[in-house]
Amino acid sequence: MPTLSFTLIQTKLFWEDRDANLGMLEKKIMAIQDRTEIVVLPEMFSTGFSMNPKKLAEQMDGVTVNWMKKIAATKKIILTGSVIIEEDGHYYNRLLWVLPDGNLGHYDKRHRFAYAGENGEYTAGHKRLIAQVKGWKINLQVCYDLRFPVWARQHSNETPEYDVLLYVANWPERRANAWKILLTARAIENQCYVVGVNRVGDDGNKIYHSGESMVIDPLGTTLYHKKDEEDIFTIVLERNALQEVREKFPFWKDADNFKIVPKDGE
C-alpha cells in the first residue's frame, strides 16, 4: 500500500505508577482525531525507566497487556510501546506490538543500558522483530539499541529487509545530541524511514528528558521534531518516496554481507 500512518505520543510519565499512566494515556489515545494506523508510546510507558522490576513487572496476561488489547480494539489501531514483563523467572524490557484483533508480537530489548544498571535487572533479548502492515515492514527496537548499528542494519542486498525503523525510548536530555544524530544516521545508512518516540519531563531519579521525538526520511531529512513539550503528532509516510530513493540511490545493493554472532554464554 502507498501510505502508512503513525501517531507519536510524546508525554510525561508518572513514576512507577501504572494506573496513573494508563489512565493518562487512554485519554490521549481516545482523543486522537486524525486517521491513524499505528500509535507509538515511549519505552516503559506504564512505569518510567525503572530498575525495580521485582516490584513492577507484569505477566503477559496482566493489566497493561490487557489494557493495550482493549485500546487497540476500541480505537482500531496497532498500539506499541515497551513495558516491564516477567516470564519464566526473568525480567524483560519488552516492546509489545498489539493488533486490533488482540493478536500481538513482542521484541525483548537486546542492548541493556549498563550505565543505569539495566543489565543487572533485565534479561537481554536475542531476536529482532520485523512486523508487517499493509505490505510495509517495520523493524522494532528500544532506546539503547540505537547505539548499535549492526543490530539495526539491513541484512540483505537482494532486497531491503524493512521500510521503517522504530525506536521507543526514555533517552535523557543530557545525551539528546547523540539521539538526534544516531536516528538520522540509521535512516541514511539503512535507506528507510526512522520513527523515534521519547518521553519528556523528569523521572523518579530527577533525570530530565527533552523528548526530541523525530521522524526522518531515507535521505536523512527531518520530517518531524518536537523538543521539551508534550505532543501528539500524526504523520503519513509515503511508500513511493521511499522506493524513489532506493531506486535512484541503490546504495543498499553494495552493502557487505554479515551475520551477528552471539556473545559467549548467550
Q: Is 127 a catalytic residue?
A: no
CA-based nearest residue to 167, from 34, 260, 41: 41
List all residues 6 or more positions away from 174 whose beta carbon is below 8 Å from its beta carbon: 207, 208
- CA dist 84 and 94 (Å) reads 6
Residue 253 to residues 149, 158, 163, 220, 245, Cα–Cα distance (Å): 18, 7, 15, 19, 13
Residues 128-144: b if buried by 16+ CB within 10 A, e if exposed? beebebeebebbbbbbb
CA-based nearest residue to 2, from 236, 221, 188: 236
- Nearest-5° angle of CA 160, CA 164, CA 168? 140
Q: Is 192 a catalytic residue?
A: no
Q: Is 109 a catalytic residue?
A: yes
- CA dist 73 and 35 (Å) reads 15
- List, in sequence order, the alpha helices (H) in 37-146: 53-56, 63-75, 118-121
Residue from 118, 143, 212, 226 carrying the catalytic annotation: 143
Half-sphere exposure of 145 (CA within 13 A, CB side): 28
List all residues 6 or more positions away from 165 whose beta carbon is below 8 Å from its beta carbon: 138, 139, 141, 152, 186, 187, 190, 192, 193, 194, 195
**9, amino acid identity:** I
Residue from 43, 58, 118, 212 carrying the catalytic annotation: 43
- CA dist 102 and 100 (Å) reads 5
Residue from 37, 69, 109, 118 carrying the catalytic annotation: 109
Catalytic machinery residues:
43, 109, 143
